Amino acid sequence: VKLQNILGSDDLNAIADEALLVSLLRSRAVRDLELELFFTRLRAALLDAANMEPPPQITPLVLQLCCALAEQCFINEYIFSVSDAEFDAVERLSQHVTTAITAGREVAPMRVAVLGSYRPLLTLAPDLESQRWPKPVDDLITQQVREPRSEASELADIPALTPIVDSVSLNVQRQYETNPFPRWTYISPVRSTPIEAYLQDKLSIAPDGLPSDANGFDTLIAGCGTGGHAILRAQLFPRSRFLAIDLSRASLAYARRKTREAGIDNIAYGQADVLELGSIGRSFDVIESIGVLHHLSDPLAGWRVLLSLLRDNGLMAIGLYSAAARRSISTIRDDIARRGIAPSAAEIRAYRQDLINRGLIPHVADFFNMSGCRDLLFHVMEHQFTIPQIKAFIDEHGLTFLGFEQSKEVVTQFRQLHPDPAAISDLDCWHRFELSNPRTFLAMYVFWVQKMRR
Ligand SMILES: C[S@@+](CC[C@H](N)C(=O)[O-])C[C@H]1O[C@@H](n2cnc3c(N)ncnc32)[C@H](O)[C@@H]1O
């Protein structure tokens, strides 16, 4: 497709008619670099067109594609690369739209759609509600104006459960206030499942002596971020009662909006620092903290606080980064630190593009949106672990290791090497396995432990 001649071309109409592509754009961050490049160029071509006077006539299908592209850019938090010429052109377009709306003149819907593909429409000064828009533009306004406003209105209602005083916690909080993570859009609904069946499926063994979930569990989600994990759990275990805490109010506001929209009423959210949770006077049957402790100044101190809140026989799920799996990520993080690259949107975008140009692409989903990229490569605090370190903590605190959450493929491979059924919950065997398969825990180690009554 020749992008400079694209408007009105059959090619563009054919692309706009691809319902699956439009759905992809609207539902999750695109994770394919060829598609990313195509959409980056298409966006630039649409920007030139939108600045023409008068703007070109486009078909409803092409307008729908422009809006879907803008939704995509909002979902990936404007990660696509932007040239200096585009920056200037976006400024011109923004002024044009602002002046027209302020003067009460009709604005071409395409102009609003293209603007929303470069910056959130909430940043426009005048109110877009003064004009009636075609459905795709109205949906875009919901995504980029109404939903963020609804989150902002949640902020005041989030209770602060503990003080936040630790200097690392304050830095981490700042990161996630600017870039709440993960910026999920949809999660597929899941069916309610007994905890035994759930753990059997995830850990590939049937742990004995689990507490009864007949009346549900009191569950703490420590470091709930934007709530996806808590919502999934509330669907899986609808009889349970959840407290979900995080440092970041912006993340909690996102979580609360999504929870309300999903019609879920058994999650209470609060702002708290894991390190301070000892002061809330609560205890829990289940505590989950996935991808959180490795961002604390002292992860093991945080883990001890969580253990102090766990009831006898209670279950705990922990997610920690693996040093072996993150070796190549660490090389990139070291490069960022050496070059003093700041975690601003512009610098993240430019550095990411540089990685793409050099073919150094981390093959993880987080690379394809802004908050993910910041979380993955630019985090203000990251600790990494080895299995022997985890084992030492578990042994020191008399915990029972139940198993790692792992894919069936990895479990099959593991069992070929360690056929004894008991090996699946033997950390020494897993350590040996990881030494020869260092990418096994690329996402992170996610494992369950139980605090047996002594
Ligand atoms: C990588 S995100 C993971 C979010 C969520 N657990 C998930 O799996 O989607 C890490 C989250 O931990 C939170 N966090 C980090 N340190 C924390 C602390 N000391 N107390 C509470 N939350 C913390 C951050 O604010 C952030 O939302």
Q: What is the pLDDT of residues 48-74, one digit of tens each?
A: 999 999 988 899 999 999 999 999 999
Per-residue burial over 413-450, b = 16 or more CB atoms within 10 Å of its CB, e = otherwise: ebeeebeeeebbbebebbebbbeeeeebbbbbbbbbbb
Whether the CB of 288 sits within 6 Å of ligand 1: no
Q: How confident is the model at residue 130 (pLDDT cuts 50, 70, 90)?
A: confident
Alpha carbon of 386 to ligand 1 centroid (Å): 20
pLDDT of 369-423, one tens digit each? 999 999 999 999 999 999 999 999 999 999 999 999 999 999 999 999 999 999 9
User: Of 295, 303, 369, 384, which is best to mutate to test ligand 1, by the most ligand atoms within 8 angstroms of its C-beta?
Assistant: 295
Name, in order, each residue with C-beta under 8 angstroms of 48's C-beta and a sequence gap of 6 or more.
4, 89
Q: How confident is the model at residue 210 (pLDDT cuts 50, 70, 90)?
A: confident
CA 354 → CA 333, 349, 446, distances in Å? 14, 9, 32
pLDDT of residue 222: 98
User: Of 247, 290, 292, 382, which is best to mutate to test ligand 1, by the most ligand atoms within 8 angstroms of its C-beta?
Assistant: 292
Look at residue 94 and give its three-state secondary structure: helix
> How many other C-beta atoms are found inside a 10 Å radius of the C-beta of residue 88?
11
Do residues 427 and 387 lie in contact, with contact meaning Cβ atoms separated by under 8 Å? Answer: yes
Whether the CB of 273 sits within 6 Å of ligand 1: yes
**DSSP per residue, 99-154:** HHHHTT----HHHHHHHHTTS-GGGSSS-GGGS---HHHHHHHIIIIIHHHHHHHH
pLDDT at 240 over 80: yes
Whether the CB of 306 sits within 6 Å of ligand 1: no
Do residues 275 and 295 lie in contact, with contact meaning Cβ atoms separated by under 8 Å? Answer: no
pLDDT of 75-91, one tens digit each? 999 999 999 999 999 99
pLDDT of 263-306, one tens digit each? 999 999 999 999 999 999 999 999 999 999 999 999 999 999 99
pLDDT at 5 over 70: no
Whether the CB of 289 sits within 6 Å of ligand 1: no
Whether the CB of 274 sits within 6 Å of ligand 1: yes
Alpha carbon of 281 to ligand 1 centroid (Å): 21
Do residues 166 and 275 lie in contact, with contact meaning Cβ atoms separated by under 8 Å? Answer: yes
Average pLDDT, the chain: 95
pLDDT of residue 373: 97
Do residues 225 and 180 lie in contact, with contact meaning Cβ atoms separated by under 8 Å? Answer: yes
Whether the CB of 372 sits within 6 Å of ligand 1: no
Q: How confident is the model at residue 154 (pLDDT cuts 50, 70, 90)?
A: very high
Alpha carbon of 220 to ligand 1 centroid (Å): 13
Whether the CB of 151 sits within 6 Å of ligand 1: no
CA 145 → CA 94, 157, 339, distances in Å? 15, 20, 36
> Mutual orientation of helices 370-377 and 345-357 as an angle, nearest 10°?
80
pLDDT at 1 over 50: no
DSSP assignment, residue 385? B
Closest CA to 59 of 138, 21, 6: 6
